[in-house]
Structure 1
Amino acid sequence: MERRLMKNEKILLDLTISCNAEHRKSTINRQQDDKKTMPSSNKTSTNAVTEFPSQNGSPNASYQGRLSIKNEAQDLFPKRQMSGVVAFYVYLSSTEPSPSVHHTIIFDYVKTNTGEAYNRHSGMFTAPTDGVYVFTWSTYSDHHGVIYTEIVVNSDVIGSALSDSINVNAVDAATGNIVVEISQNDVVFIRTNSIHHGTGDILSYPRYRTSFSGWKLV
């Protein structure tokens, strides 16, 4: 791959040098023609060189050279395609007050949703294709609060996290991460623990966001 990139860069360099030489030659020829045809009073006032097709419809050498380099560059270094990319990042736009057990957290503010696989109304991510996915979520518990959360695939709990500031007068944070192989149409979401009841609110402010994100790895 490295040798191929070096070869492509050399091709572009050679094309650039060739184009610049042709451009200088074309510029000199046009300036000489202008001096021959221009009235003597205006000979010293015009040095402009057009870089676009001439009025008779025939592209000049400079324009052709630049167009050739552009086409070669597009062939060698095509734009990155976004097709097949699945990624999302969402968060709570405001604090979730005292959630109950087995409560699905609906992250209502969607920042990124490439592939349109996350539903901000249900809080569910639905896998568009089979593959290995990465998911991560962060929660913040209030002063003297405790929040138990878990990530669920369909009906199976795959991971969990605990934000615990029950004994301190401060905000605490917890982050969970999983890498999991799932199938098309499997759903993934975050909820509070089904057994352990938390205490206090799930905080989300501009300074720190309770969030959920994920992307397809392969």
Structure 2
Amino acid sequence: MDSKALVLFTLLGFLLAEPGFGQRGDTDLSEWMKAQEKLINTLQGNQKDVERQQSDLLALEARLNATVDELERQKDEMDKLKKENQDLQTRLSASDGEIDKLKHSSKAAPRVAFSVSLVNSGEIYQGPCTDKTLIFKRIFSNVGNAYNHNTGIFTAPANGLYFFSFNTYGYNTHIVGAILVKNAVRQISTYDYPSTDGSDSGSNTAVLQLAAGDKVHVELWDNSRVFDNMNGHTTFSGFLLFPL
């Protein structure tokens, strides 16, 4: 039995129970029945509206739930991006600190570099001789003034690692060679016996750890001779790699 018939029978039951109902005419009953049917239709229409509104509310609730889920996902993503940004800022701050430290270290470290050759003018044969220290007179550069052109000695201004190189050139009448000396201790050398090709040359390099005040120079081997002129054949160079 549908809801319309159920409501109708219920209403009829109430009417039949009313006093004097049997005294009403057929016309009154017909009008009353029509009014009740109209009321039932109205109630059924209202019920459908309520059901439709309920369906709309359910759909709206589903959309709201989906929106909430999306907002939560976006919030999680934003939190993740925020953390990544904080980590990046931390790394950038650390990098800036290292750069500042390097800048400070670079400014604090002395600037030391020199490059010299044996003669300022003309040409020279030096050796064999008693005082075997080679005094390089021609100055190409002497940043920091650690090389003394009067003595031929380089004095380290600070603790650090230093790079040195030297070159010797001579003719076949004598041994051609020299020694790099640190604080009176031999380090590296060049050496070439007289040959029939007319001239000989040699070169060598070293990285030495020096303390402030350590001295480095180049001296001839016993019975050795070197040659130089304005072409710069016999040379001596060095510079500070980094302080320690």
Alignment match of 2:218 (pick from 181, 185, 190): 190
| CA root-mean-square deviation | 2.1
Match of 1:216 in 2: 240
1:34-183 equivalences under 5 Å are 84-93=110-119, 94-100=123-129, 103-164=132-193, 166-183=194-211
Residue 99 of structure 1: CA displacement?
2.7
Aligned equivalents of 2:202, 2:220: Cα separation in 1: 13
Aligned equivalents of 1:105, 1:157: Cα separation in 2: 14
Residue 82 of structure 1: CA displacement?
9.8
Match of 1:202 in 2: 226
Contact 1:87–1:214 under 8 Å retained in 2: yes
Q: Which runs of 5+ in 1 are unaligned?
A: 1-79
> Deviations 1:48-93 (Å, cap 9, x if unpaired)?
xxxxxxxxxxxxxxxxxxxxxxxxxxxxxxxx96962100001111
Contact 2:114–2:143 under 8 Å retained in 1: yes
Q: How many residues align?
A: 134
Amino acid at match of 1:89: S
Residue 212 of structure 1: CA displacement?
0.3
Aligned equivalents of 2:232, 2:198: Cα separation in 1: 13
Q: Which runs of 4+ in 1 moved over 3 A?
A: 80-83
Q: Structure 2-normalised TM-score?
A: 0.51
Amino acid at match of 1:103: K
Aligned equivalents of 1:110, 1:204: Cα separation in 2: 14
Specify which structure has the higher proportion of helix: 2
Aligned equivalents of 1:86, 1:188: Cα separation in 2: 14
Q: Which runs of 5+ in 2 are unaligned?
A: 1-105
Residue 172 of structure 1: CA displacement?
1.1
Residue 115 of structure 1: CA displacement?
0.5
Aligned equivalents of 1:81, 1:182: Cα separation in 2: 20
Larger Rg: 2
Contact 2:168–2:177 under 8 Å retained in 1: no
CA distance change for structure 1 residues 101 and 159 in 2, over 3 Å: closer, same or farther? Answer: farther
Contact 2:117–2:232 under 8 Å retained in 1: no
Aligned equivalents of 1:167, 1:97: Cα separation in 2: 18
Residue 183 of structure 1: CA displacement?
0.2
Amino acid at match of 1:176: N
CA distance change for structure 1 residues 140 and 92 in 2, over 3 Å: closer, same or farther? Answer: same
